[in-house]
Chains A and B, each alone.
Chain A
Amino acid sequence: MREDRIAIRTRELTRYFGHNAALRSLTLDVPRGQVTALIGHNGAGKTTLIRLLLGLLPPTRGRAELLGCDSRSLTPEVRARVGYLAEGHFLWGWMKARDAARLQRETFPRWDQHLFDSMLKFFGVASNARVGQISRGQRAGVSLAMTLATDPELLVLDDPSMGLDPVARRALVEGLLAFARRDDRTILVCTHLLDDVERLADRIAIVSHGRLLVDSGLSEFRERVCGWTLDAEFGAQQAAQIPGLIDSRQTRERTHLVVADPDLETEAAIQRISGTARREELTLEDAVLAYLRPAAMVGSISDALEDAR
């Protein structure tokens, strides 16, 4: 990919908190003009990655670039081209909605007051409403309006749907799609809502335990992750025989397997375990969950439920 077509680039990005590695050697390219969904379980390192990208945390080693600028020395000009929505839609409680606009207007040269006012109207927030006294969803609306009205070239959203009702969520997704279609806008959105991802994203990046496991186009990802259903017992011994096995899940007498990049060898291995094994269609959710599911935890929860019965 051409250098100028990359909005975000990380190389061997690593961040430790004490002895705990939040991110390990993460190398990622986010192309311009596309929407990339960043997915991972809680504590996977998504928010840390975003803070590293925005220069709000220094990396332990490695490097990150945002719009061609080292994230540790982002200039005000570059920052003004990047919109960032922090997790939790943080706003200072003493602010009124119009104060929020003032705060952004004077430091983002491309501020769009009309867009801000429209979004406030959509979320039913009066301009003199104090942020600390409106509902969580409305606060999310103000926060989104503050971010989108800066008219950024690159939009980094950390769980933007949090606190939004279904209508607002749908509006947000549509708004982001419209935003992404304008010019050459890039969006990096971190979310847990996979149907939003399906509707919105061109690309997907999955982070698990600080490591990047997937960085691919959405359609390519779906093509390369396949599922099988087996009618046989499946244990660790069998799992070791299947190359690229992402996840196995037991339901009644069946076993569902999810495999990355299956080839002839993979198919042969599965057939050796069960001659009646058959391929099954995977949804995006199935594929992503296979990467995210901590098997031990699921097992323990289901066991606990069984015990409770």
Chain B
Amino acid sequence: MKTILWKELRENARWVPLGIIPMIIVLVLKWRSNELIFDASEYGSSLSLSSLVGLVAGGIAVCLGLIQSWPDQRPAARALLLHRGITADAAFCGKLLAGLLLYATAVFVPLLGMAAFITSVGIEHRAASPGALLPAALISVAAFSCWPASLLIVQRDARFWGSRLLPGLTAALAVFACGATMHEVLWLAITIAVVTLVAFLAAARSVFVNSSHIATGNGRAYIAIAVTVALLTLMMCAMSMIESYRTQVAHSGGEAVSRQYVVEFGPDGRPWLTRTSYTWSSGMNKLDQVAKMVPHRSVRDQLQPVEDSWEPLRKWSPYRHEYYNPKSLLGGRFARLNQATIFLDSNDALNRTWVFDAKRDAVLVYRSEWRTRFRLEAILLPPASVGSFGQVQNPGSVDAAGNFTLVSSTGVYRVPGSGAEVETIYAVPQASSFLGSATISFTTAQALPRGYLIGLMVRLSERVVLLNSGSDADAASRPEALGAFSGLGEVFATEVHLPNELATADRISISRDPTIADSYVGLVEDWGRSDLGGSWFRFDKEGRIEEQDRYEESPVSAVASGNIAAVASIPPAFLAFGVALVAIENRSGNGIREAWEYTKTYPAHTALIVFLGMLQPTIGIPLAFWAARRRRLDKRATRRWICWAFWFGPCGSLALLAVYPRLIREPCNVCQRPARIDLASCEHCGHSLDETPQTGIEIFDQGQGGGSTGGSSTSPDVNVGPSVGYAGKGP
């Protein structure tokens, strides 16, 4: 291994600067793209640092894989490389180690250099932390899977370009998935990175060691996974594009492109079904039809045009998972790891910018000079009575005086524009868990600047706390004044206990009942985002239910219109994974029970989903059976591939065709029927394929076997080669 490592390093080290240069360019461009925040695109529209690094690192890995494998594919080079006193495994390890070292030099050295640079600059002029580089480092680890993917592309003796390139596509997809999930579900991103890397390395090793027309059993398994996932991705992308095109065509020419149905509280406090249409020509959403919901009956076909003056009640929707839940599998305590510094807000009039520094648990206040140079003006710590800001959720509202409201898991704070201390507007009691928050920041009736916060709700485990500014007529009579609130006067807090039905639900909406004083109305949305059904409650401040109703609005039409293609394109394995994830996520809640209730409530809808879910296996299993027959797999391998096709549909079956090479046949000398060349005898007549006719000019020593001496020379222990290799192998 040492020898190969040395050879690879000597041969390829000269290319490393070509990898370092784009990495440095990306880091420098990102550093210069915003004068204060290092990775400003997290809050903007441009590509984030991790995305850019993922692209560059993936490119470096691909290039490295190609230059380490392509030249050595020449037969003489491969012979010189492999014909020596080491195993092919050791040779592969040498290549891998060299690849890793070169990749690490090209990718991680610039990242480490940047981290050192950020540390040396400090926070005086830059709200940057080396921690911001962690997502880029993680995605770089995932991107290394492009290295074995390149080896697979080069060394696998695939029969067509589609199959040959598929591993590369799968690796790129994995890197993308890792990048897409890391900011919210870090554990999933790490799992994707590790599993992809391990699977691709194993597949590349297998192919490198057994590089041949006929892959070994192990190699097939890894390649089957890679090919199946890639085909699925292609299929789902194609379905999405077709669906998108279909929608675009169907609604072009000024017609409403999409309609959104939402249940709102009407002026009477009851639930109303509202329809908002997006018009392609105007590019605007408009609430155009409403219908008052009737218990246990769909009202979709009773929608009526509505006047412009019709407005739903202002409501708060503090969804449980809207906010980061540290106990959640989909969150995890490292979920916000990359947000070492979080941009909060800025005010041009005051030339101030606020940044939350998670490491210091403080708000940094910068004063900008000429909009390009920043100077740290103050470090605002959380009030001593609270101790910590906890996890920050930024509502993004600055008033004219430069104060803004900071919502975090420990409370609601008024962060002043100057260097004064942070004030606590509301502190979450220690015994309570912060589950989420909701704001009302827009207004049309009041003469207030758009975007100013006029109401905020903090959701705790069994109650909600409404914080309203003094200008809100509804809150004017509230007794508890908590201080200035976004410059809109006094803030009043009202605690409202939730009925158990609301407290345990994920998706709830609450409003004051306009018809009965001191009463509230709440809506619990059913499981599933396409479902408009739910339960409506009227309850008092103590959480006692005064009235309730059940509303149903069948979502079948929504599913039937555009989502059929989407559901039908998801293979059962992914569906099962999704269901398992939801089940685990809701293991402490009532998600499973709700799902079961849903199934009972909408049997037709459930049947449709099951039918669509089974569509893929229905096509895939016969296809796998046919493909297994074509490739002459034995019963055991056929059974495994049928299972594979059940979970992954037709894509799993097609992977079989890609993994196993097409069988080549030649006419048998005796029966003249096409016989497999990889078998020792004709599969039809049993005649030995090695018996070739004598021409009479052959000269062989007495006692020597002779090359074409017919059946007499056939050794009884002749290896029939690949026919054995097809037995008992599956994905």
Whether the pair B664, A19 counts as a contact (CB closer than 8 A) is yes
B698 within 8 A of partner (CB):
yes
Nearest Cβ in chain B — how far from A39, in angstroms? 13
Nearest Cβ in chain B — how far from A27, in angstroms? 4
Q: How many Å lie between the Cα of A211 and that of B709 in the bound state?
A: 11
B679 within 8 A of partner (CB):
yes
Whether the pair B77, A90 counts as a contact (CB closer than 8 A) is yes
* A260 interface neighbour in B84, B697, B717, Cβ under 8 Å: B697
Contact status of A212 and B721, CB under 8 A, knowing A54-B79, A82-B83: no
Whether the pair B698, A214 counts as a contact (CB closer than 8 A) is yes
Who on chain A is nearest to B83 by CB? Answer: A84
- Against B, the Cβ 8 Å flags (1 = close, 0 = not) of A1-43 are 1000000000110101011010011111100000000000000
Whether the pair B11, A51 counts as a contact (CB closer than 8 A) is no
Binding-face segment, B396-404, B559-567, B699-707: B699-707
Whether the pair B2, A24 counts as a contact (CB closer than 8 A) is no
Who on chain B is nearest to A205 by CB? Answer: B707
B residues near A29, Cβ cutoff 8 Å: 704-705
Q: What 9 additional pairs, Cβ within 8 angstroms, besides A76-B90, A217-B701?
A: A19-B664, A58-B212, A58-B721, A94-B10, A103-B7, A104-B84, A107-B84, A107-B85, A109-B85
B residues near A139, Cβ cutoff 8 Å: none
Q: How many Å lie between the Cα of A157 and that of B718 in the bound state?
A: 27
Prevailing SS type, chain B contact patch: loop
A56 within 8 A of partner (CB):
yes
Whether the pair B699, A61 counts as a contact (CB closer than 8 A) is no
B162 within 8 A of partner (CB):
no
Whether the pair B84, A61 counts as a contact (CB closer than 8 A) is no
- CB pairs A–B below 8 angstroms (23 shown): A12-B680, A19-B666, A25-B690, A27-B706, A27-B709, A57-B212, A76-B84, A76-B85, A80-B85, A84-B83, A86-B75, A91-B80, A94-B11, A99-B10, A102-B6, A108-B84, A109-B85, A211-B692, A214-B698, A215-B701, A220-B701, A244-B696, A260-B698
Q: How many Å lie between the Cα of A261 and that of B695 in the bound state?
A: 12
A residues near B7, Cβ cutoff 8 Å: 92, 103
Q: How many Å lie between the Cα of A107 and that of B91 in the bound state?
A: 11
Q: Give B residues with C-beta under 8 Å from A.
A: 2-3, 6-7, 10-11, 74-80, 82-87, 90, 212-214, 664, 666, 677-680, 689-692, 696-701, 703-709, 713-715, 717-722
Nearest Cβ in chain A — how far from B703, in angstroms? 6
Q: How many Å lie between the Cα of A92 and that of B74 in the bound state?
A: 11
Q: How many Å lie between the Cα of A191 and that of B99 in the bound state?
A: 38
B residues near A18, Cβ cutoff 8 Å: 664
A residues near B721, Cβ cutoff 8 Å: 58-62
Nearest Cβ in chain A — how far from B446, in angstroms? 76
A residues near B2, Cβ cutoff 8 Å: 106
A246 within 8 A of partner (CB):
yes
Contact status of A212 and B75, CB under 8 A, knowing A24-B692, A62-B719: no
Whether the pair A60, B706 counts as a contact (CB closer than 8 A) is no
Contact status of A28 and B80, CB under 8 A, knowing A86-B75, A217-B701, A246-B697: no
Nearest Cβ in chain A — how far from B156, in angstroms? 14
A residues near B90, Cβ cutoff 8 Å: 76
Tell me the A209-243 residues at the B interface (CB within 8 Å): 211-217, 220-221, 224-225, 243
Who on chain B is nearest to A223 by CB? Answer: B699
* B213 interface neighbour in A58, A63, A108, A221, Cβ under 8 Å: A58
B residues near A75, Cβ cutoff 8 Å: 87
B residues near A77, Cβ cutoff 8 Å: 85
Q: How many Å lie between the Cα of A184 and that of B617 in the bound state?
A: 63
Tell me the A92-120 residues at the B interface (CB within 8 Å): 92, 94-95, 99, 102-104, 106-109
Contact status of A61 and B679, CB under 8 A, knowing A12-B714, A216-B701: yes
Whether the pair B690, A14 counts as a contact (CB closer than 8 A) is yes
Whether the pair A107, B86 counts as a contact (CB closer than 8 A) is yes
Whether the pair A26, B707 counts as a contact (CB closer than 8 A) is yes
Prevailing SS type, chain A contact patch: mixed
Whether the pair A244, B697 counts as a contact (CB closer than 8 A) is yes
Q: How many Å lie between the Cα of A104 and that of B11 in the bound state?
A: 16
Contact status of A84 and B79, CB under 8 A, knowing A61-B678, A103-B3: yes
B residues near A103, Cβ cutoff 8 Å: 3, 7
Who on chain A is nearest to B708 by CB? Answer: A211
Nearest Cβ in chain A — how far from B17, in angstroms? 16
Whether the pair A60, B85 counts as a contact (CB closer than 8 A) is no
Q: How many Å lie between the Cα of A56 and that of B77 in the bound state?
A: 11
B residues near A94, Cβ cutoff 8 Å: 10-11
* B719 interface neighbour in A27, A54, A61, A291, Cβ under 8 Å: A61
Who on chain A is nearest to B74 by CB? Answer: A90
Whether the pair B83, A56 counts as a contact (CB closer than 8 A) is yes
Who on chain A is nearest to B662 by CB? Answer: A18
Who on chain A is nearest to B661 by CB? Answer: A18
Whether the pair A24, B708 counts as a contact (CB closer than 8 A) is yes
Whether the pair A212, B85 counts as a contact (CB closer than 8 A) is no
Whether the pair A56, B707 counts as a contact (CB closer than 8 A) is no
Tell me the A122-170 residues at the B interface (CB within 8 Å): none
Q: How many Å lie between the Cα of A209 and that of B57 in the bound state?
A: 49
Contact status of A212 and B707, CB under 8 A, knowing A80-B85, A220-B701, A291-B697: yes
Q: How many Å lie between the Cα of A215 and that of B74 in the bound state?
A: 30
A residues near B696, Cβ cutoff 8 Å: 243-244, 260
Q: How many Å lie between the Cα of A213 and that of B3 in the bound state?
A: 41
Contact status of A58 and B214, CB under 8 A, knowing A90-B80, A104-B84, A108-B85: yes
Who on chain A is nearest to B159 by CB? Answer: A18
Whether the pair A216, B700 counts as a contact (CB closer than 8 A) is yes
Who on chain A is nearest to B681 by CB? Answer: A61
A residues near B76, Cβ cutoff 8 Å: 86-88, 90
A residues near B719, Cβ cutoff 8 Å: 59, 61-63
Residue of A14, A27, A84, A212 ringed by the most chain B CB atoms within 10 A = A27
Q: How many Å lie between the Cα of A254 and that of B314 in the bound state?
A: 114
Nearest Cβ in chain A — how far from B97, in angstroms? 15
Whether the pair A224, B699 counts as a contact (CB closer than 8 A) is yes
Whether the pair A214, B664 counts as a contact (CB closer than 8 A) is no
B residues near A25, Cβ cutoff 8 Å: 689-692, 707-708
A residues near B706, Cβ cutoff 8 Å: 27, 212, 215
Q: How many Å lie between the Cα of A82 and that of B85 in the bound state?
A: 9
Nearest Cβ in chain A — how far from B71, in angstroms? 8
Who on chain B is nearest to A76 by CB? Answer: B85
Residue of B691, B715, B719 ringed by the most chain A CB atoms within 10 A = B719
Who on chain A is nearest to B721 by CB? Answer: A61
Who on chain B is nearest to A72 by CB? Answer: B719
A46 within 8 A of partner (CB):
no
Q: How many Å lie between the Cα of A224 and that of B699 in the bound state?
A: 8
A residues near B692, Cβ cutoff 8 Å: 24-25, 211
Whether the pair A61, B83 counts as a contact (CB closer than 8 A) is no
Whether the pair B679, A106 counts as a contact (CB closer than 8 A) is no
* B699 interface neighbour in A19, A99, A261, Cβ under 8 Å: A261
Whether the pair A213, B707 counts as a contact (CB closer than 8 A) is yes
Q: How many Å lie between the Cα of A82 and that of B697 in the bound state?
A: 33
B residues near A60, Cβ cutoff 8 Å: 677-678, 721-722
Q: How many Å lie between the Cα of A244 and that of B698 in the bound state?
A: 8
Residue of A1, A99, A107 ringed by the most chain B CB atoms within 10 A = A107
Nearest Cβ in chain B — how far from A91, in angstroms? 7
Residue of B7, B11, B699, B714 ringed by the most chain A CB atoms within 10 A = B699
Contact status of A213 and B699, CB under 8 A, knowing A62-B721, A86-B80: yes
Whether the pair A27, B705 counts as a contact (CB closer than 8 A) is yes
Nearest Cβ in chain A — how far from B717, in angstroms? 8
Q: How many Å lie between the Cα of A19 and that of B675 in the bound state?
A: 12
A245 within 8 A of partner (CB):
yes
Nearest Cβ in chain A — how far from B67, in angstroms? 12
Who on chain A is nearest to B680 by CB? Answer: A61
**Nearest 7 pairs of A and B residues by beta carbon:** A212-B707, A80-B85, A90-B76, A107-B84, A86-B76, A27-B705, A25-B690
Whether the pair A215, B11 counts as a contact (CB closer than 8 A) is no
Nearest Cβ in chain A — how far from B73, in angstroms? 12
Nearest Cβ in chain B — how far from A20, in angstroms? 10
A residues near B677, Cβ cutoff 8 Å: 14, 16, 21, 60-61
